[in-house]
Amino acid sequence: MSSLNLDDFTDLIERPDGGVRRDAEARRERQIVPPGALGRLDDLGEWLAAAQSAVPVRPIERPRMVLFAGDHGVAALDVSARPAGSATRLVRAVLEGTGPASILARQLNVPVRVVDMALDCDPGELPADVVRHRVRRGSGRIDVEDALTQEEAEAAFRAGVAIADEEADSGTDLVVLGDVSVGGTTPAAVLIAALCGTDSSVVTGRGGLAIDDLAWMRKCAAIRDALRRARPVLGDQLQLLAAVGGADLAAMTGFLLQCAVRKTPVILDGVVSAACALVGQRIAFRAPDWWLAGQSSGEPAQAKALDRLALEPLLDQGVSVGEGTGALLALPLVRAAAALAAELPEKPAEATEATEATEATEKG
């Protein structure tokens, strides 16, 4: 019998401090730049203040990019532009600093952590700190079999929780979250379609490298078949992740929820992290208040999930390469919001009093 009770997250997760947010809004009204003139940066600054429970908001000084990695058996159906089982190459590129996310992270001075949950390679091929949480070698082909056993799903979920605790304990003040996978957008689309009550054609996208029409049709069929397996277990989120998710998605879901428990803000990347966020919302409805949508990747399933989560992407550059790249691009925007909220000077007291008197006269 499992000792993991997902209902506990509902009790453990609190919303960001509403009182602090009101204080941040009041401070913003006193600053020399009129409220609203900075657009969404105002909202971002106030959200950060509430998340940090601090006015003025503190700068983002210790961000970390965390990437969960895995291979998905469904990639054997040629639903991805990359060969099945080749995610290890992408992980090596990240570790060697030649992947797009690694290059951006270097420019932004953000350390990168890669967590192998289910890569299809010998664990000896990668550093020990990367593979120490691995649950299995590759995830099952979800159109005909479960991605994981129930025990593997629980182990992956617990690994994600443990990694969130490690990051919070080390002082990480914001996480940029992404995935490194081959075939990962297919289980992500299945989860989103199942949780949003829609069919496969609505959520099937072209993936990170824009598959052709034939591959799109194969992917659509795989999602359709996996959906038939997902619907009977919709009431049990861990069982859902075992049936049609994967070890990387289960770990990412646990990670997101525990970040919310530990009051660590997270920037989501693409469709995979959006799918895990949607599962997380089903487990604990307050959890999405701790997450930002970094970017719109152009995947229809991501748009569907973000709409359900009531999260509006910060950027729309169509970055679909994965690996947290799009979310990382949003980090400077979040840092800018924090700096403006903290450093814009306030209006002189007499100017504030004159403004208040004018407003009172107009109301009278």
**Cα distances (Å, whole numbers) of residue 16 to 53, 82, 265, 340:** 7, 40, 10, 20
- CB-CB neighbours of 157 under 10 Å: 29
3-state secondary structure the chain: CCCCCCCHHHHHCCCCCHHHHHHHHHHHHHECCCCCCCCHHHHHHHHHHHHHCCCCCCCCCCEEEEEEEEEEHHHHHCCCCCCCCCHHHHHHHHHHCCCHHHHHHHHHCCCEEEEEEECCCCHHHCCHHHHCCCCCCCECCCCCCCCCCHHHHHHHHHHHHHHHHHHHHCCCCEEEEEEEEECCHHHHHHHHHHHHCCCHHHHCCCCCCCCCHHHHHHHHHHHHHHHHHHHHHCCCHHHHHHHHCCHHHHHHHHHHHHHHHCCCCEEECCHHHHHHHHHHHHHCCCHHHHEEECECCCCHHHHHHHHHHCCCCCECCCCCCCCCHHHHHHHHHHHHHHHHHHHCCECCHHHHHHHHHHHHHHHC
Question: Residue 137: exposed, middle, or buried by beta-carbon count in 10 A (0-12, 13-18, 19+)?
Answer: middle
The pairs formed by 311-316 with CB atoms below 8 angstroms and a separation of 24 or more are: 311/268, 311/277, 314/40, 314/44, 314/267
Cα–Cα distance between 346 and 343 in angstroms, integer? 9
Query: Which of 152, 167, 299, 323 does the annotation list as catalytic?
Result: 323
| Angstrom distances, CA of residue 76 to CA of 222, 227, 310 | 11, 18, 34
User: Catalytic residue at 167?
Assistant: no
Catalytic amino acids? 323
